[in-house]
Amino acid sequence: MQLSDFGKKYTARTGILELIDDLGKAAVNTGEQYMLGGGNPAVLPAMSEVWKRRLTELSADIEAFEAGLSRYHSHTGRPAFVNALASLLRENFGWPITGKNIVVTNGSQTAFYLLFNLLAGEAEDGGRRRVLFPLVPEYIGYADQPRSAGDLVGVRPHIERTAPHRHKYHIDFDALELTDDIAAICVSRPTNPTGNVLTNEEIAKLDTIAQAHGVPLLIDGAYGMPFPNIVFPEAVPLWNENIVLGLSLSKLGLPSARTGIIVASEEIAEAVGSANAITSLATGTFGQLMAEPLIQSGEILRLSNDEIRPFYLEKSRRTLEWIDELFADQLDYSVHESEGAFFLWVWFRNLSITTYELYVRLKERNVIVVPGTYFFFGLDEPWEHADECIRINYAMPDNEVRRGLEIIAEEAIGAAVSDPTPSPATASNPDAESERRP
């Protein structure tokens, strides 16, 4: 087969392909396995009940079922769905939004693919434009989306040591350069892979910078506000005409319904809708039908705040305790502050192997994690930190997470260098000077 440039680019062995391949194989593997990779959400009994109830309602109303699923719908989303969401956002956050500001895509993964390729690449004026990620590590799924790898620019964070064995990344605003070729700024909040939640001040500052340079600020809220709200600290959601907010039904428990949502200016929403028509023809309605009444009644907010957020908060606390119990005194490690999403980002120093090699060894023992290297894209030079981190998904049942962590501890201890150099990862003084380059 003779592949085109597009063909070569999109058939490469990428991090996201490896991740989803691991996930797909795990889904059919009936043997012993500890799936701490991928981005599968937990199955919450309260949410399963809600979806079961919706399925029963849908199948009982055969006319609504047929009207909803037996014909193509619009390339921008079901009017009832987008209008209900616009009302919810207007009433709860005061955002000046109508249905024209909303477009549904077949997963928010697709939404970002369309957005990056609408904005970055060869521009109408003949120049090349790029997307700026002000804090890398960022979501593995963005890394290979633009047609050219050079269309992404990443910036290393400032690293604050917040407590023994804990750290937090902050945007290094001094290192942020808004050159003329920047087409958009993009962050996920909460951030996949780290569980970081950019502070309100950081978001406000990004918003000001984006507006001053006339480029949109893309905020990926796949885990964020207003739903599923897997956000632990106090954080304010922000939207204005210059912000493109990505949302998803996946982390509410419907990843296979493939429903992503973009809230943006009418111009951007329309552009995504047009691209949708070409790539997908119409939007899938199953997820929209499932969630529509929950959005109309506002129940989606209650479920997010009272069921989903506390569930993950509790699970995060428990997993952190296990990590400290299993790693302390044996490993030179630090975990990113767990502020949202359902990942823990573990930084190992003084291993004799890269975390990609650790990933391979763990896979041989049926433990799947995601190695750090894939999350560091767009940097102008290699950074050893990328080979020192792994992402652990703690959404799976407790016994699987606990056993997976035990095996991770065994393998990491086995790979630890015997004569370690002193490291910031284990700093016992949280007030010690924070740093940018560990």
Question: In the complex, which residues of this chain contact ligand PLP (CB under 6 A)?
Answer: 39, 107-109, 139, 141, 188, 192, 220, 222, 248, 250, 255, 260
Shortest approach of ligand PLP to residue 408 CB, angstroms? 21
Nearer to ligand PLP, 152 or 351 (CB): 152
Cα 295 to chain centroid distance, Å, stands at 22
Q: Residue 422: how many CB atoms within 10 A of its CB?
A: 10
Shortest approach of ligand PLP to residue 188 CB, angstroms? 4
| Secondary structure (3-state) at 103 | strand
The answer to whether the CB of 272 falls within 8 A of the CB of 280 is no
The answer to whether the CB of 137 falls within 8 A of the CB of 355 is no
Nearer to ligand PLP, 48 or 256 (CB): 256
Q: How many residues does the chain have?
A: 438
Q: If we measure between CA atoms, which residue out of 176, 118, 168, 183 comes closest to residue 147?
A: 118
- Structural tokens at position 388: 């020192």
Shortest approach of ligand PLP to residue 241 CB, angstroms? 22
Shortest approach of ligand PLP to residue 145 CB, angstroms? 11
Shortest approach of ligand PLP to residue 261 CB, angstroms? 9
Phi then psi for 397, rounded to 5 degrees? -55, 150
First to last CA, the chain: 45
Nearer to ligand PLP, 41 or 99 (CB): 41
Nearer to ligand PLP, 255 or 424 (CB): 255
DSSP state of 294: H
Residue 218, amino acid: L
CA dist., res. 282 & res. 279, Å (int): 9
Shortest approach of ligand PLP to residue 344 CB, angstroms? 14
Nearer to ligand PLP, 221 or 424 (CB): 221
Residues 6+ apart with CB under 8 A from 65: 58, 59
The answer to whether the CB of 358 falls within 8 A of the CB of 25 is no
Shortest approach of ligand PLP to residue 162 CB, angstroms? 23
